[in-house]
Structure 1
Amino acid sequence: MIISHDVAGSGPAVVLLHSSVCDRRMWDAQWQPLIDAGYRVVRCDFRGFGDSPLAESPYSDTGDVLALLDHLDIETATLVGASHGGRIALTAAALRPEAVTRLALLGSGMPGHQPSDTLRAFGGREDELIEAGDLDAAVELNVDAWLGPEADEQTRAQVRLMQRHAFDVQLEATIGPDREDVDLGRITAPTLAVAGAHDFQDFRDIAAALPALLPDARHRELPWAGHLPSLECPAEITALLLAFLGEPAPGA
């Protein structure tokens, strides 16, 4: 199965990978500016999100993304990943380093990361609400946890809509994605690791650690941001991505 996706524009490929709180609609604000800047832009829904149906057999989100690149005849691409999408971007870059030209990571997860007690407590509370059938409260828990102080009510409503859809779909799931152990040392792509000062410490620590783990990575923390800065302050993140994409290629 090829996961649901949009593709438009021409030029170097940029693939947008969403957070597990959202779906591909989280990139609405970045979509047209990237196309207008001369990129072929792809955004997709992981299985159980947006328009991608649940899996009927074992799968991996990374495998789905790599299969999508093959389907679209994309040999090389920049991967832009938010949270779970960042973890998938890192995994893809480790499995197929020759295919990933740049990595832009926003509040990224990381393969093999063990969640802190604080993050585990959040997950436990979410599970309690879902098991009690209070999906509205579980949605609000996520909206409050993942959005920083710059998020306006329209943004909160957008995340609320995407998270509720994910819950409604995934409660029917019987198969989840496989977790892949990878060697991040295989990654060669220049990497921008962005974190928000209002995010969980886990994601701040991951972003800060990546420059020591990857050969060409730099860290930036945004003092105003929570976990989803591309939604909280879209114009600033769009400008940041365009500047990163426009940098000279390594060795140029």
Structure 2
Amino acid sequence: MTISYVVCGDGPDVLLVHAGVADSRMWAQQVAELQGSHRVITLDLRGYGETPLVPQYSAAGDVLEVLEEVGARDVVGVGASFGGYVVQQVASRRPELFSRLVLICAPTDNVEPDEKLRALWTEEEALLEAGDVDGATELTVRHWIGPDADDEARELLRVMQKHAYEVQLAAGDVDNEEWPVEPEKISAPVRLITGAHDYAFFTDSADYLAERLPSAERIELPWAGHLPTLERPAEALKLLS
């Protein structure tokens, strides 16, 4: 397997899947706090951190393969942003693996992005097409982390996102086979967390899921942007527990 993953600690299984502007380093503080009482599984999705890209792959399939390789069961699956979307795909196909899900500012199927987010993506794409990786990275740092984040969190985001851009640009065109998200099949309780300073797309996605999941808890954080566990890491465990 070419997926970089780490398993540490002992106890009930917790899976942490990073956001699409980050990598597994975003969970460093939570891993340090959880590993005394849980077996914590982190990984870098393809094109992030230590995991290379390949021409064809399935992010959801990769996550499921890691869970099977380590013998995970009764998993608390935590996903931030794109990582939350991947967790939904896996839980839709293999609901029996999970005891609970925590989806943080995660998109989902059948919800359209808002105009502000589309405009941001257009600006990002123009910068990358012009070869301005630093400009695209700074755009990410300005827009994807909330006002409560400190300088250390912003610098970590800068490092993670710049590395991801470099890996993904070097790889060229790739194909990620996405699995359908089927909320009605996700039997585990799901906590849906969004931030008041985030884009409407993620709030709309959480509301859509809350109406369709068999068991959902909805939390809106008035202080948060898109990455609340980085913005207020001291409060992260309360969000996950």
The TM tier, using the shorter chain, reads over 0.9
1:166 offset after TM fit, Å? 0.2
Deviations 1:4-54 (A, max 9, x none): 011111111000000010000000110011112x11000000001000011
- Gapped regions of structure 1 (runs ≥ 5): 245-252
2:13 touches 2:40 (CA, 8 Å); kept in 1? yes
Query: Within 1, Cα distance between the matches of 2:110 and 2:87?
Result: 14
Could you say what the CA RMSD is over the residues aligned between the two structures, in angstroms? 1.2
Measured after TM superposition, the shift of residue 73 of structure 1 is: 1.2
Separation (CA, whole Å) in 2 of partners of 1:111 and 1:10:
34
1:3 matched to 2:9? The reply is: no
Compute the displacement of 1:75 (Å). 2.9
CA contact (8 A) 1:210 1:218 kept: no
Amino acid of the structure 2 residue aligned with 1:155: A
2:60 corresponding residue in structure 1: 62
What's the counterpart of residue 30 of structure 1? 30
**2: CA distance between counterparts of 1:189 and 1:76?**
10
The aligned residue for residue 235 of structure 1 is: 234
TM-score of the pair, normalised by structure 2: 0.96
Residue identity (%):
44
Q: Secondary structure at the match of 1:171?
A: helix
Aligned counterparts, 1:8-19, within 5 A = 8-19=8-19
How far does residue 182 in structure 1 lie from its aligned partner after superposition?
3.1
Distance, in Å, in 1 between the alignment partners of 2:229 and 2:210 is 22
1:42 is matched with 41
Shift in alpha-carbon separation, 1:113–1:209, aligned structure 2, 3 A = closer
The number of residues matched between the two structures is 240
Q: Deviations over 1:60-98 (max 9, x none)?
A: 100000000111111331110000000011111111010
| Letter of the 2:8 counterpart | A
The residue aligned with 1:211 is 210
Aligned equivalents of 1:145, 1:222: Cα separation in 2: 17
1:155 aligns with 2:153: yes
In structure 2, distance between residues paired with 1:236 and 1:208: 23
Aligned equivalents of 2:221, 2:94: Cα separation in 1? 30
Does the aligned pair in 2 maintain the 1:8–1:35 contact within 8 Å? yes
Counterpart-to-counterpart distance in 1, 2:211 and 2:99: 19
C-alpha displacement of 1:184: 1.7
What is the Cα deviation at residue 237 of structure 1?
1.4
Tell which deviates more after alignment, 109-118 or 124-133: 109-118
Q: Distance in 2 between matches of 1:100 and 1:59?
A: 23
| DSSP-derived class of the 1:7 partner | strand
Cα separation, 2, equivalents of 1:222 and 1:170:
32
Q: Among residues 102, 105, 108, which one is paired with 2:106 in the alignment?
A: 108
Does residue 78 of structure 2 align to residue 77 of structure 1? no
| Letter of the 1:75 counterpart | R
